[in-house]
Structure 1
Amino acid sequence: MAKAHVNPTRMELTRLKRKLATATRGHKLLKDKRDELMRQFLELVRENKTLREKVEKGIQAANMNFVLARSAMPDEILNVALMAPRQEVYLEADKKNVMSVEIPKFEYRTKTPDENDIYPYGFAFTSSDLDDAVKSLQDILPDMLRLAEIEKSCQLMAAEIEKTRRRVNALEHVMIPEMQENIKFIIMKLDENERSTQIRLMKVKDMMLEQAHHYSERYS
């Protein structure tokens, strides 16, 4: 139903038609954005599942190797071996715009390019299980960073999808139908006014003809 404050004029009709055209285009763009966001979101969810399983297996294997290393080495030697790391890792965080969503982008670099620097100890008094544990953690680091990227991206994209969905629904079920009803209301009122004007003009014409006829009869 049209609102009571709608002014049934041609100027208001033109304004509402322009507003409806803009809302219709915006509705289509928002639907396209929502669909594309959903497509990319589902891709990230599938990748997240695969990566999480891989990372959990890698961490589990590293923990098992650490347990084996602890059982094969005295605690003093193990603690000294891991006390002074030789390698350092620097994390760089950036952002990437995906459908107006700022998702994180992580990159890392090491202090030295030598892969053997991940071992902060000599190999004479340590167990090979400790080497395997350190190596497995180093191998799983890129996947851990990618997993962090994906999980945060999924959170941000889910929030944007929900916000876009609310806007689409508001346009589709509230604003556009309301404008369409208001346009129909104005057109109906304008047609009524035009018919009323035509009827009045016809009555005036009849009165003028009648007066002219009586006048001609009087002086004939």
Structure 2
Amino acid sequence: MSFPGSRRVLPTKINLIRLKQRKKVVERIRKLLEDKRDILLMYLRKAVADYQKYYDAYSEHLERAYSYLIMAEVQSGESALKQEVAYVPEDLTAKIYARTAFGVKIPVVEFARTEVKGGAISNLYSSPYLDKAAKEFEEAMKYLNKAINSEMSIYRIMNELRRTQRLINAVKYSILPEIENNIKFIKRSLDDQQREEFVRLKLIRSKLQSRRVA
């Protein structure tokens, strides 16, 4: 007799013991994978919450910065404002490295300069709103940097979650059922062998008793 999803194995007690031991190991692996999935979900929730928080802060500072720029333009005029901001450096470099969170490598971006120096655009005749805008842009860049890192964490953690869930599904719906079916097959085969042996011995005993009577 065979069971669906089971491979052909020799129905011996040694194989039965081995399969039972293998089942325990696979169940421990599944438990570890499920624990890893739960921890990754916790990291994912935190990364999503951080991203939303940083992005909201970035948007608020950016909105205030543009408001101050408009006020500065109204106060100083468009041409004067353009002359002032012409001194702002346009280059921006970033350093990229990796950190590890529960076995997941996550790239980290760190802006080499996340601030706009107020002194570079400020002089005696410039609008004070321009300095306020520069500070708001500086804060916006800091939160943008954090939002970018949180977003990359989300993508990497989600990819690892998918991979972990695929492994859990493989263990749960393929590997464990196969082992369990093989265990059932061996148990049923051994039980059948025992019954056959019992019947055979009973027949031999009956023949021996009938010979003695004769």
Q: TM-score, normalised by structure 1?
A: 0.81
Find the counterpart in structure 1 of residue 28 from structure 2. Answer: 25
2:121 match: secondary structure: coil
Find the counterpart in structure 2 of residue 127 from structure 1. Answer: 127
Find the counterpart in structure 2 of residue 139 from structure 1. Answer: 139
Find the counterpart in structure 1 of residue 9 from structure 2. Answer: 7
Check 1:105–1:4 CA distance in 2 against 1; reply closer, same or farther (3 A cut): closer
Q: Which of the two has higher C-alpha Rg?
A: 1
Code of the residue aligned with 2:96 in structure 1: it is A
1:176 paired with 2:176, answer yes
Superposed CA offset, 1:59-114 (max 9, x none): 11011112222233343332332223369754222111112221222334449xxx
Q: Distance in 2 between matches of 1:144 and 1:116?
A: 14
Q: TM-score, normalised by structure 2?
A: 0.83
Q: Distance in 2 between matches of 1:18 and 1:71?
A: 79
Identical pairs, percent:
22
Superposed CA offset, 1:16-42 (max 9, x none): 223312210111001101111111211
The 5 A counterparts of 1:1-220 are 1-3=3-5, 5-10=7-12, 11-85=14-88, 90-110=93-113, 117-208=117-208, 210-211=210-211, 213=212
Q: Distance in 1 between matches of 2:6 and 2:49?
A: 51
Count residues in correspondence: 211
Unaligned runs of 5+ in 1: none
Give the root-mean-square deviation of aligned CA atoms.
2.8
Offset of residue 189 of structure 1: 0.7
Q: Distance in 2 between matches of 1:183 and 1:172?
A: 16
